[in-house]
Structure 1
Amino acid sequence: MAEAHQAVAFQFTITPEGIDLQLSYQALNQIYLSGVRSWKKRVSRIRNRVIKGVYPASPSSWLFVVIAILATMYMRSDPSMGLIAKIQQHLPLSLHVSLSAQGQTMLSALVFSTLLWFSLILALRFCLKLLLSYHQWIFEQHGRISNTTKVWVTLLRLLSSRKPLLYSYQTSLPHLPVPAIKDTLSRYLESVRPLLTDPKFKRMTELANQFESNLGNRLQRYLKLKALWATNYVSDWWEEYIYLRSRSPIMVNSNYYGMDFLYVTPTPVQAARAGNTITALLLYRRKVNREELKPSRVPGTVIPLCAAQCERMFNTTRTPGTETDVLQHWQDSEFVAVYHKGRYFRLWVYRAGRLLSPREIEYQVQRILDDPSPPQPGEEKLGALTAGDRIPWSQMRKQYFSSGVNKRSLDAIERAAFFVTLDNEEQGMRGEDPAGNLDRYAKSLLHGKCYDRWFDKSFSIVIYKNGKSGLNAEHSWADAPTVAHLWEYTLATDAFQLGYTEDGHCKGEVDRSLPHPQRLLWDIPSEVQAQVHSSLAVAQALADDVDCHVFPFSEFGKGRIKKLRISPDAFIQIGLQLAYYRDRGGFCLTYEASMTRLFREGRTETVRSCSNESCAFVKALEGGEAEEQCRCLFKLASERHQNLYRMAMTGAGIDRHLFCLYVVSKYLGVESPFLKEVLSEPWRLSTSQTPVQQIELFDLKNHPDYISLGGGFGPVADDGYGVSYIIVGEDMINFHVSSKYSCSETDSHRFGAQISKALQDIMTVLTSDTKTSSSSKGTTQPQPKKLL
């Protein structure tokens, strides 16, 4: 109980002589220093608000305007064209009495200068917004840039010359436009043409035409009205209806995972890996709070992306409700929640306003690992409530966790910066079955034991017994690229910045007077324990049904693909179409996630990768057409895919528009056979690329083993596949494939093999003419250098 006594700032006793007050100066000093940290954060927020509020100008530019106006007046010229005199006339009477005529003139000039400064800022921001609304640049071919785009780039660089804060561009980003309903319906019909027979396509065309001529325009008017009023006409409804209103388990169905390095584990010491990982995450949070992170940009350009998703990264949890869940975010948290062997702990990561060193956090984590106390009754599998259906969890939370010791402990988890699981298992590509162990590693991160993660937290970190790490992220608050950016920074900071001693421990000194991590207390009644058992059964059935397969494809990578002047993403997506055709004997509606963060509060849009052009190429290749014909068809398919991706990025997608029209129809209480059918179509192939955003953090040339495995997600359709991939370096692509064991028509390992073969077959076709021409000249085609 020593730590409890240290936490008491003062004690008093009543004696016959009066009250004897005993102050603990050490505790009071801790409170004082913690308060100083809090006030520093407030001052930093105010400062950042001012700096980003005047962007692209600077606060110091106000002084320049004032001096310029006063200098002009000194030269007996009136730059205000009489406005300064009018301002002077309208000054309060008290100022007329207390100030001389010269003083009144100076004050009026100061007011005019400030108003002029604000006007200039608004004009600059308006110009920046206009510039960021120009998207023709994305459709231009490399090396063939128009003069308009060249002028646009020059102007954008001039207005963005000042170093921006993380959120500096937010108010200058354009709003997501509402596409014309005729264009959306036309693009939709084109996307489903290769999937429908002639009679079915004719029927769908008739439904679309009826919708456009009758209900569609009415719904469109409401949607345009919302677009005028809301910052983003999609994002709030997308978050609510796609994520928060779902009553099924979020584990597997919604949450996704991220993996550690493929070949390297920086330390085998579990507590040390936890120490560095927690420190790196908190350093990233500090950068977010201080807005010191550089705004994300479109790779290779100066075009900024929306950073709104960073705001709820830490100190955030998803709380269950009967009809809809709610995202709760707290401004700050000085602790993390830790789970180990069925016990929950609150681990303070700040002391007296100071972030603990990695070695001190390791020391505290080791204390948790060494703690012999058993779980309290009902505590061990309590996390299963977050893994099962949402309504039972909501009912239990409201009835049994709204007061007393349970509320205090639940608050500690929900208000924590993030959640940490100290797992007893060993994971990674290891042992005699590295491929099988990678699959088990993915399943462990996706769902674990179904009770040893807190799936409601914005993200949970998992540190395994052998030092391997990973994360599980809740999806509603942000999309994968935001979490991937965080995870890239964490892995790089852990391995290359913080580092370890020769014996695998964190660097730094330890203050051994640190209070022990606080064990969270629970009073779990039998009703809650029964529900935990029921939720665990639901979650376990879901977890047991997931078939995960992770494999690195190292035959070639983006280096060889780009030499053919082909988009690596288009190459992979067409390869997935070929693989699916071979696996299932046909084509399916394919989902590829694209971002709309060129717009304010933008999230994602769907690229319908299965196109007429990609299907034509696959049929030609499988039908034994001549290689020259296949190459021409592949080029058309690749160009079509890139165009679809660009249209999705620039607000001309299909699915978010149709989704919002459907929501409006529900609000109006009208039924649309067309929208109902469109929204019920299954995505049997759901795909996503995990982008590598901070290449400068990883030196793959000198450290080729520090390759990220990326991450993955569960299948969207019961009879479909979920495919995630990350293009690492020049010579490797890592794939994550998921499906369900309960479907006899899918098999993740089989589909993984089909992907590998499809990519190699396409490369063979595309390079066969190069090899022929090279051999005729007496030269050989150089082979790409592999990482391993």
Structure 2
Amino acid sequence: MAEAHQAVAFQFTVTREGIDLRLSHQAFTEIYLSGVRSWKKRIIGLKNSVVTGVYPASPSSWLFVVIAILATMYTRSDPSMGLIAKIQENLPVSQSMSNQCQTLVSALLFSTMLWLLLIFTMRMCLKQLLSYHRWMFEKHGKMSTTTKVWVALVRIFSGRKPLLYSYQGSLPNLPVPAIKDTVKRHLESVRPLMDDTEFERMTQLASEFESRLGNRLQWYLKLKALWATNYVSDWWEEYVYLRGRSPIMVNSNYYGMDFMYVTPTPIQAARAGNSLHAHFLYRRKLNKEELRPTRIPGTVIPLCSAQCERLFNSTRIPGEETDTVQHWQDSDYIAVYHSGRYFRLRMYQAGRLLSPREIETQIQRILDDPSAPSTGEAKLGALTAGDRIPWAEARTKYFSSGVNKRSLDCIEKAAFFVSLDDEEQGVVADDPASLDAYAKSLLHGKCYDRWFDKSFTVIFYKNGKMGVNGEHSWADAPVLSHLWQQTLSTDCFQLGYNAEGHCKGEVDSSLPPPQKLSWEIPPECEEQISQSLAVAQALADDVDIHVFAYQEFGKGRIKKCRVSPDAFIQMVLQLAYYRDQRRFCLTYEASMTRLFKEGRTETVRSCSNESSAFVRALENGEPAHVCRRLFQEASEKHQNLYRLAMTGSGIDRHLFCLYVVSKYLGVESPFLKEVLSEPWRLSTSQSPMHVEMFDIVNHPEYVSCGGGFGPVADDGYGVSYSFMGDNILNFHISCKHSCPETDSHKFGDQIRTALQDLLQLLSPIRTECHSAEGVAARREETPVGETQGKGKQKEKSASITLGSEERRVFFFS
């Protein structure tokens, strides 16, 4: 094979005449250029470390301080108040230097210490400023004088031209909420879900926990918060994600979609060429830290960027008790799957990134490759889709040495994974179910044509559509979403295609073909692959997904009603769920805590006393003005809960960590056990949409439908929604076919009706006929279904849950 010969730098043959030595100039050139690229990356990393380390000052500011100190000394004044003289007296090499040289060295040392002190002071000031969160609780449009001064100071201390990680040293640590506050908010959140007897029992359990065990657990948690950067994140990653032994496909991984109405090119290889080139352009900016730090939209407040570090070159490694996330510093290739074969595709040639047209050529070579899969190779990826323990055992037994280890290493160390799908997906005008099929394909595919352990897998379909599947343990969806939407924007608006639909640019004819990976799969391993595939296929077949874009109104119309768009959608979901199930349920909405160092997510419990009161009033036909007042109270309550979650005063992460401490101490808490066993039957998350990357006004067809996730509870719904501009709302609804109480399409219909009813209720232009009585009358005409109210008895096992990534985890078992 050509690639095998090119991998050999020199060959020699022993003959009668002596040793015949042959050197490969191309191989040595590749080795040299690879080394140069590696050293360039190290130098850039070192430079960025220095720049980030002294931020919010700059390295050049050191020279300014030195010149200022020397200038004042020249005027025969002592800015150091005698410290320079003290330094001069204690110089270890003072006898070998002149007096003038000693003074200069002492001044330089003093200037450096003063500069470092100023940096430390500025960083501490910025950290204290970023710990101020009262601005979030002020009414929209009414900024207090304190907040105005605070904004000015943040701008002053934030420095200029920050790199991606410049703010990391100035972000505050996540605070530990008070036990009494967490218990009080938990009781408030479960009140609408319980009758008087159940609530009294829960109140008694909470009171006993707060007065006895709670304070002891809290002491250990505060001790951890003093020692650790973030008292939640490491336990959250380990126990919620990595210790989960059930499949991560559907249960944890999530997906993102392509443009809905536009396919830039129908040529599969060409779409891959531009997209893959855009991915590596993004990685180059990430490595150089040239990406702008993420901020809260419309503010100067930075968010933690720590999750970006593992975006590329990362893989989840299975273990028998717990998985691990492995990250490599660099990788110059991707792993590609097509028609049951795995390939290694190098993305660099002679030290430069391949052009989009060159990548297209390489992808086309893979598509045209007639070779058959090795024995057991075609469905090998099913191991990553099934249960984790069998995969860990098979990996140790069959992939720890020889050709299998080399090929598996190639996949796991790749920058990311690519799947060339032989199906066509996307929106079909006369097929309303096409979006649903597209979503299911992205979520699980055929259960063996994705590598679910990679940080993300990019899927390219036969008709030019594409999508992404993301593994959840290494980071949350906004990180991958930023990359994905940047890729879509770069693909269409910067790189583009020629008239025939091919990528632009020239092709180097000397490019070696992609390398097909080799496998030696024994029959025993094939049997394990089949078993994992059966588990994964059963899980995939049970998933019911419905995706739709609501275009009658969007965020712009909602804002005219003077209400938070997110609060509006959450009230819509509460109303829709009540109409669908005739009951309320514990509702999860994902919020972020990236205002703090290494922050990840927190839960907003959207089902509140206020929201349930509003829904009941609307359904009971109360007057419109009463319903509007109750809606306003529910909306304000939800916004306050969201702000509390963002500022570190949420409920669920605190309770989760208290539970982990109790397990370490070997003590049982009936309160914590019951709290962590409560099912999230409605799990929701807003997909982040970076609309600044797209020109929606001039190119309204370039809109994405966002992304979604699998169902969280066996008898519940998972709902992902997004605002695309001011006029489109996207919804992704998932549940399980095996539950007779849930149906994604019926729930989607309830959401559409609830959207119309709430807009009619809140619209600035109203008449008396638009009353809540009319809304309630229409609700009575909607059949509820015979199976509603037949709640399934579920096992009361301690579980750790979150919106799009709920995992049932049995601790320390």
Same fold (TM over 0.5): yes
TM-score by length of 1: 0.97
Q: Secondary structure at the match of 2:763?
A: helix
Whole-angstrom distance in 1 between the partners of 2:94 and 2:187: 72
Which residue identity is paired with 2:592?
Answer: M
Matched, 1:318 2:345: no
Whole-angstrom distance in 1 between the partners of 2:747 and 2:266: 33
Report the CA distance between 1:600 and its aligned residue: 0.3
Q: Could you say which residue in structure 2 is the equivalent of 1:376?
A: 374
Which residue identity is paired with 1:86?
Answer: K
Q: Secondary structure at the match of 1:708?
A: coil
Matched, 1:705 2:704: no
The answer (yes or no) to whether the contact 2:545–2:734 under 8 Å persists in 1 is yes
Deviations 1:365-419, CA, capped at 9 Å, x for gaps = 0000000001110000000000000000000000110000000000000000000
Counterpart pick for 1:401 among 392, 399, 404: 399
Matched, 1:449 2:446: yes
The answer (yes or no) to whether the contact 2:3–2:515 under 8 Å persists in 1 is no
Counterpart pick for 2:554 among 554, 557, 565: 557
Sort the Cα spacing of 1:431 and 1:340 in 2 relative to 1 into closer, same or farther, 3 A. farther
Matched, 1:579 2:576: yes
Matched, 1:38 2:38: yes
Q: Could you say which residue in structure 2 is the equivalent of 1:728?
A: 724
Counterpart pick for 1:590 among 582, 587, 590: 587
Report the CA distance between 1:144 and its aligned residue: 1.1
Q: Secondary structure at the match of 2:731?
A: strand
Alignment of 1:471-482 (within 5 A): 471-482=468-479
The answer (yes or no) to whether the contact 1:269–1:505 under 8 Å persists in 2 is yes
Matched, 1:440 2:437: yes
Which residue identity is paired with 1:444?
Answer: S
The answer (yes or no) to whether the contact 2:549–2:728 under 8 Å persists in 1 is yes
The answer (yes or no) to whether the contact 2:55–2:159 under 8 Å persists in 1 is no
Matched, 1:674 2:671: yes
TM-score by length of 2: 0.94
The answer (yes or no) to whether the contact 1:34–1:351 under 8 Å persists in 2 is no
Report the CA distance between 1:96 and its aligned residue: 2.2
Q: Could you say which residue in structure 2 is the equivalent of 1:64?
A: 64
Deviations 1:537-585, CA, capped at 9 Å, x for gaps = 0000000000000000111000000011110000000000000000000
The answer (yes or no) to whether the contact 2:760–2:766 under 8 Å persists in 1 is no
Matched, 1:755 2:720: no
Whole-angstrom distance in 1 between the partners of 2:634 and 2:2: 69
The answer (yes or no) to whether the contact 2:572–2:758 under 8 Å persists in 1 is yes
Which residue identity is paired with 1:607?
Answer: V
Whole-angstrom distance in 2 between the partners of 1:701 and 1:172: 38
Which residue identity is paired with 2:653?
Answer: R
Alignment of 1:65-104 (within 5 A): 65-92=65-92, 95-104=93-102
Which segments of 5 or more consecutive residues in structure 1 lack a partner in the other structure?
775-788
Report the CA distance between 1:14 and its aligned residue: 3.1
The answer (yes or no) to whether the contact 2:561–2:764 under 8 Å persists in 1 is no
Which residue identity is paired with 2:82?
Answer: G
Whole-angstrom distance in 2 between the partners of 1:86 and 1:772: 85
User: How many percent identity over aligned positions?
Assistant: 74
Report the CA distance between 1:492 and its aligned residue: 0.5
Which residue identity is paired with 2:685?
Answer: S
Which residue identity is paired with 2:128?
Answer: L
Sort the Cα spacing of 1:376 and 1:773 in 2 relative to 1 into closer, same or farther, 3 A. closer
Report the CA distance between 1:341 and its aligned residue: 0.2
The answer (yes or no) to whether the contact 2:304–2:598 under 8 Å persists in 1 is yes
Report the CA distance between 1:8 and its aligned residue: 2.5
Whole-angstrom distance in 1 between the partners of 2:766 and 2:569: 20
Counterpart pick for 1:524 among 521, 524, 527: 521
Q: Secondary structure at the match of 1:142?
A: coil
Q: Could you say which residue in structure 1 is the equivalent of 2:338?
A: 340
Which residue identity is paired with 1:135?
Answer: H
Q: Secondary structure at the match of 1:60?
A: helix
Matched, 1:269 2:254: no
Q: CA RMSD in A?
A: 1.2
Q: Could you say which residue in structure 2 is the equivalent of 1:137?
A: 135
The answer (yes or no) to whether the contact 1:364–1:516 under 8 Å persists in 2 is yes
Counterpart pick for 1:617 among 611, 614, 617: 614
Report the CA distance between 1:432 and its aligned residue: 2.8
Report the CA distance between 1:6 and its aligned residue: 2.8
Q: Could you say which residue in structure 2 is the equivalent of 1:740?
A: 736
Alignment of 1:483-562 (within 5 A): 483-562=480-559
The answer (yes or no) to whether the contact 1:481–1:691 under 8 Å persists in 2 is yes
Deviations 1:244-275, CA, capped at 9 Å, x for gaps = 00000000000000000011111100001111
Whole-angstrom distance in 2 between the partners of 1:413 and 1:145: 52
Which residue identity is paired with 1:446?
Answer: L
The answer (yes or no) to whether the contact 1:35–1:353 under 8 Å persists in 2 is no
Which residue identity is paired with 2:694?
Answer: F
The answer (yes or no) to whether the contact 2:696–2:703 under 8 Å persists in 1 is yes
Matched, 1:367 2:375: no
Report the CA distance between 1:148 and its aligned residue: 0.6
Deviations 1:607-660, CA, capped at 9 Å, x for gaps = 000011111110011000001111111111111110000000000000000000
Report the CA distance between 1:98 and its aligned residue: 2.2
Whole-angstrom distance in 2 between the partners of 1:735 and 1:390: 31
Q: Could you say which residue in structure 2 is the equivalent of 1:356?
A: 354
The answer (yes or no) to whether the contact 1:590–1:686 under 8 Å persists in 2 is yes
Q: Could you say which residue in structure 2 is the equivalent of 1:289?
A: 287
The answer (yes or no) to whether the contact 2:419–2:459 under 8 Å persists in 1 is yes
The count of residues paired between Structure 1 and Structure 2 equals: 770
Higher deviation after alignment, 654-663 or 350-359: 350-359
Which residue identity is paired with 1:575?
Answer: V
Q: Could you say which residue in structure 2 is the equivalent of 1:183?
A: 181
Counterpart pick for 2:246 among 242, 245, 248: 248
Counterpart pick for 2:684 among 684, 687, 690: 687
Report the CA distance between 1:17 and its aligned residue: 4.9
Whole-angstrom distance in 2 between the partners of 1:594 and 1:770: 34
Whole-angstrom distance in 2 between the partners of 1:494 and 1:540: 33
Which residue identity is paired with 2:203?
Answer: T
Which residue identity is paired with 1:282?
Answer: F
Report the CA distance between 1:222 and its aligned residue: 0.3
Q: Secondary structure at the match of 1:125?
A: helix
Which residue identity is paired with 1:726?
Answer: S
Q: Could you say which residue in structure 2 is the equivalent of 1:233?
A: 231
Q: Could you say which residue in structure 1 is the equivalent of 2:327?
A: 329
Report the CA distance between 1:32 and its aligned residue: 1.4
Deviations 1:707-764, CA, capped at 9 Å, x for gaps = 0110000111000000001100110101000000000000000000000100110101
Whole-angstrom distance in 1 between the partners of 2:443 and 2:14: 58
Whole-angstrom distance in 2 between the partners of 1:578 and 1:135: 31
Whole-angstrom distance in 1 between the partners of 2:551 and 2:185: 36
Which segments of 5 or more consecutive residues in structure 2 lack a partner in the other structure?
771-813
Q: Secondary structure at the match of 1:122?
A: helix
The answer (yes or no) to whether the contact 1:31–1:352 under 8 Å persists in 2 is no
Whole-angstrom distance in 1 between the partners of 2:356 and 2:505: 7
Whole-angstrom distance in 1 between the partners of 2:381 and 2:12: 41
Whole-angstrom distance in 1 between the partners of 2:761 and 2:280: 49
Report the CA distance between 1:5 and its aligned residue: 2.4
Which residue identity is paired with 2:77?
Answer: S
Q: Secondary structure at the match of 1:569?
A: helix
Q: Secondary structure at the match of 1:592?
A: strand
Q: Secondary structure at the match of 1:373?
A: coil
Whole-angstrom distance in 1 between the partners of 2:592 and 2:456: 21
Q: Secondary structure at the match of 2:64?
A: helix
Deviations 1:481-540, CA, capped at 9 Å, x for gaps = 111111110110111111111111111100121111000000000111000000000000
Q: Secondary structure at the match of 2:55?
A: coil
Q: Could you say which residue in structure 1 is the equivalent of 2:801?
A: none
Whole-angstrom distance in 2 between the partners of 1:20 and 1:392: 50
Q: Secondary structure at the match of 2:36?
A: helix
Matched, 1:52 2:49: no
Report the CA distance between 1:27 and its aligned residue: 2.3
Q: Could you say which residue in structure 1 is the equivalent of 2:804?
A: none
Which residue identity is paired with 1:616?
Answer: A
Report the CA distance between 1:21 and its aligned residue: 2.8
The answer (yes or no) to whether the contact 1:692–1:728 under 8 Å persists in 2 is yes
